[in-house]
Amino acid sequence: MVDDNELERLRNLAVPAPDGEAKARALAAAMQAFDAQEKISTVSQGTSAGLRLTERARQLWREIMQRKLIATPAITALVALPIAGYAAFEMLKEQPPVIGGKGTVTETVADKPVAQKPAPEQPAINEPVVAAPAKEKKTDADAETRANSQAVPAAPKPASEVDSLLKQEAAPEAEPALQTAPAESGQLAAGGKDGSSNKVIMSMTPPPSADEAERSDQAPAGVAAAIPASPPAMADSKLMVQPAPMPSDQMQPQEENRDRIETFKTNPVHETAQDPVSTFSIDVDTASYSFVRRSLKEGSLPQADTVRIEEMINYFPYDWKGPDSAATPFNSTVTVMPTPWNEHTKLMHVAIKGFDVKPAEQPKANLVFLIDVSGSMDEPDKLPLLKSAFRLLISKLKPDDTVSIVTYAGNAGTVLMPTKAAETQKILAAIDNLEPGGSTAGEAGIREAYKLAQQSFVKDGVNRVMLATDGDFNVGQTDDDDLKRLIETERKTGVFLSVFGFGHDNLNDQMMQTIAQNGNGTAAYIDTLAEAQKVLVDDASSTLFTIAKDVKIQVEFNPATVSEYRLVGYETRALKREDFNNDRVDAGDIGSGHSVTAVYEITPKGSGGEQVDPLRYGQAKVDNGGVANADEYAFVKIRYKLPDENVSKLITTPVTAANEVKSFDAAGVDQRFSVAVAAFGQKLRDEDQTANFGYDRIAEIANAARGADPFGYRAEFLSLVRLAASLDGNK
C-alpha cells in the first residue's frame, strides 16, 4: 500500500518532455490500430493502400476534368455526368450543411455578385445560387449537335432530396451581395457566349461539429444546404477543387447556323454580238427582302446568297400602269435611263403590272393550311407567329370560302376538314390547339394537303395549298429534287402552292424556293407579325388570286446599239433560250395586282438557231444594206398562260429612243426607287459594279424617290440602308 506522502511527492515531480522517437512510435501505433478496425469510412483517411468507392469516383472525376481519360467532348458528357452526380451525392453525406455562419460558401456567375436571401428568423445560411442555363432550341438535330460540341460537362446534378431546394431561386428583393471568393480557393470555369469564362468559385471551411450538424437538421423548409460543386481535396484546412482550365474555344459550343440557302453566281456581262438573248422566269417572291431585313436588324450583314435582288425590288408595291381588263392580264412599261453608278452605261427598266381583281369579282377560295408542327417549330418566331399570321388571314376570307388544316410532324394528319370561313371560331380553335413536337414528315403532309384540296376542289375558283414551315423536312422524301417532282405532279391537278417560311438558324430556304417555283406558287418569309399583315392581309389578293401562270421574259438586244448587257438579279430564275417557246417548261406566276420589275444594265452600241425564233436584227436586211430596226435598243417578249389554260400567249414591246429619258432624275418616282433597291442589293452582295457607289448615295436616291408611302415600307428601307452602312463601315 502506498502512503499519502509518496503520492504527494510524485504529484510534485515535473513531467519529462516526450522525445521525437516516442512521438513517432505513438503515431505509428495509432495508425495501425485505426487500419485494423476500419470497416467503412465516409472520409479518405488512414494509410490503407486501396481506394474506397467514393475516392475512386472522385479520382475518375478529377482525371476527366483534366482530360486525361476521355478525348472527345461527346464521350466526356456521357460518362462524366453519372459520375458527377454520384460524387455530389456522396459528398452531401460526408459534408453536413454549413450552419450558423461558421462556414461560408461563395459563388459568382460571370464574375458578377449574385444576391442571396437568408432564412427568416434563423441564423444566416449561405446557400448556393444556381444560374439557369440559356434556353436551347428544341430542334430535332440539336441533341446531336450539343453532344458533339459540348466541351465541358454539365455540373453534377444534386441528390433528389435536395434538388427541389436548389431550384428555389433567391427572391428579387434587395439582398446583400455575396462576397467573391479569390480565384486561389478553387474554380470551375464554363464558357460564355463571347468565349469568356463564366466562373463558379466556391470556398468552404472544414466540416461543422456534431452540434452544428444536429442543428442543420432543423433548418427551415425552402433553405438549400450548402453543397460543394465538385469533390473536395484537403489544403490549408479548406476544402477546394482546382480543375485544369479548359481552352476558351472548348468552353462554349459555337452556335451552328443550319439555314440552307441556295448558292449562286452573279450574272455576268454578255457581249451582245455573241449572246444577244436573255431569258428568265418572272419572280414575285419577297422572301429575300424579309430575310435581309432580319439580319440587319439583328446586327449583321446578310450572307451574299440570301440577297436575291429581284425579290428585294419586287417586295415594294409600285404604281405601274396596269391593263384595262382581265382579258390582257398585265401591261409592260419599259424605260431607258442613265445609270447612277456608271456614267458609261444605261439602265433598261422593264416593269410589269398585273390586272387588279376587284373584291366583288374575286372567285371562291378553297384553301388548305399545311402547317409544320414538328419539334423544330417550337420557337417564338415559328409556330406561335405562324398561328397569329393565319388568324389574320382568316379575317380576310369571305364567308363562302373554304378552309382545311393539315399538320405534319412524325406523320401527317387532318386537323380540320373543309370548313366554311363563316365558322370562324371553329377554324380559330383548330389553329390555337396546334402544339409542336416530333420529326418532320413534310412529304406526307404535302400529299395529304393536295388530296384534301382535290376533294373540295372549286371549279373556276382558287384552289391553293398554303405551306407554313421552317423547311426542315427529315422524314420521307427529303431531297429537293424528289420534292420538286412531287410538286410538279400535283400541280397538274389545278391546285397551286404558296410557301411561307418562319424562323432562322434552321430555315431551309433552298427547299422552299424549289417547291414554290415548281408549284405555280410564291414564297414569302415571315419574320414579324407586321410582315404577316403585309403578306396575308394587305397583299392577300396577289397572294391568293393568280391571273397568269408560267410567265417568261425574253429580251433580244440589238448589237448595232448595245455592245454589252447584264441582267441585275434573277440568277436563280434563268431559263435556256429554247425554253421560252416550250409550254411544258414551268415559270413564275402573277397574282392580282402584282408588279414585277427587271433591270438590265446596258452599254450603248441577235444570232439565231433552228429551235428558237429567228433573230430580229442580225439576219434581216433592208434595201440599204443596214440592220433591220436599227434604231431599237432591244425587243422585249413576254409569254404567259391564263390560269386555266395550257397554251401560252405572247406580248411584244420594241424598245426605242421613245422609251428613253435624258437624265436619271427625269425618270418616274417608282423607277428611281426600284433602282435604289437594286443598287442596295448589289452593294450587299459586294458586286463590282457598285463597289464605288456609297450607301449615302443609295439613301439619297431612295429618299428623293420615296413618294407615297402609306404603309411605311420605303421609310423602313431607308433605315436598313443606314444600318448596313454602319455595319459595313463603308459610308
Torsion of CA 624, 626, 630, 631, to 10 degrees: -50
Q: What would the pLDDT profile of 70-105 be if each residue is shown by its tens digit?
A: 445 555 555 555 555 655 555 555 455 444 444 443
Pair 104, 228: CB distance under 8 Å: no
Q: For a pLDDT cut of 90, what percent of the chain falls above it?
A: 41
Per the prediction, the chain carries an average pLDDT of: 74
Considering only residues 19 and 689, tell me which one the structure prediction assigns the higher pLDDT.
689
Q: What is each CA distance from 616 to 123, 562, 613, 634, in whole angstroms?
A: 98, 14, 8, 10
Distance CA(731)–CA(725), nearest Å, equals 6
Pair 343, 376: CB distance under 8 Å: no
> What sign does the dihedral 601-604-605-608 (CA atoms) show?
positive
Q: What is the pLDDT of residue 196?
A: 40
Distance CA(292)–CA(719), nearest Å, equals 13
- What are the sequence ranges of the domains in the chain? 53-251, 270-357+547-728, 359-544
Q: What would the pLDDT profile of 428-470 be if each residue is shown by its tens digit?
A: 999 999 998 877 667 788 889 999 999 999 988 899 999 998 8
Q: What would the pLDDT profile of 548-560 be if each residue is shown by its tens digit?
A: 999 999 999 999 9
Classified by CATH at the fold level, domain 359-544 comes out as Rossmann fold (3.40.50)
Distance CA(725)–CA(693), nearest Å, equals 12
Q: What would the pLDDT profile of 182-201 be if each residue is shown by its tens digit?
A: 433 333 333 343 434 343 33
Q: What would the pLDDT profile of 699-718 be if each residue is shown by its tens digit?
A: 999 999 999 899 999 999 99
Q: For a pLDDT cut of 70, what percent of the chain falls above it?
A: 63
Closest by CA to 236, choosing from 179, 185, 200, is: 185
Most confident of 42-46, 109-113, 133-137, 400-404: 400-404
Residue matched to cell numbers 522525445: 19
Residue 397 reports pLDDT greater than 70: yes
> What does 113-137 look like in DSSP terms, one character per residue?
--B--PPTTS--------PPPPPPP
Residue 328: DSSP 8-state? S
Residue range 655-676: average pLDDT? 96
**Count of alpha carbons within 13 angstroms of residue 511, beta-carbon side:** 23
Q: What would the pLDDT profile of 576-603 be if each residue is shown by its tens digit?
A: 999 999 999 989 889 888 899 999 999 9
Pair 311, 286: CB distance under 8 Å: yes
Q: What is the pLDDT of residue 540?
A: 82
Residue 148 reports pLDDT greater than 60: no
Q: What is the pLDDT of residue 610?
A: 31
Distance CA(382)–CA(377), nearest Å, equals 5
Q: Supply angle C-alpha 488, 466, 526, rounded to 5.
A: 115
Q: What is the pLDDT of residue 180?
A: 39
Residue 211 reports pLDDT greater than 90: no
Distance CA(686)–CA(679), nearest Å, equals 10
Q: What would the pLDDT profile of 216-260 be if each residue is shown by its tens digit?
A: 444 333 333 333 344 444 434 333 444 444 444 444 444 555 677
Residue 107 reports pLDDT greater than 50: no
Residue 134 reports pLDDT greater than 70: no
**How sure is the predictor about 351, in pLDDT bands with cuts at 50, 70 and 90?**
very high
User: What count of other Cβ atoms lies within 10 Å of the Cβ of residue 138?
Assistant: 15
Residue range 363-375: average pLDDT? 92
Pair 107, 128: CB distance under 8 Å: yes
Q: What is the pLDDT of residue 213?
A: 43
Distance CA(353)–CA(100), nearest Å, equals 81
Closest by CA to 317, choosing from 695, 669, 65, is: 669
Reduce the DSSP state of residue 490 to 3 states and report it.
Answer: helix
Q: What is the pLDDT of residue 412?
A: 77
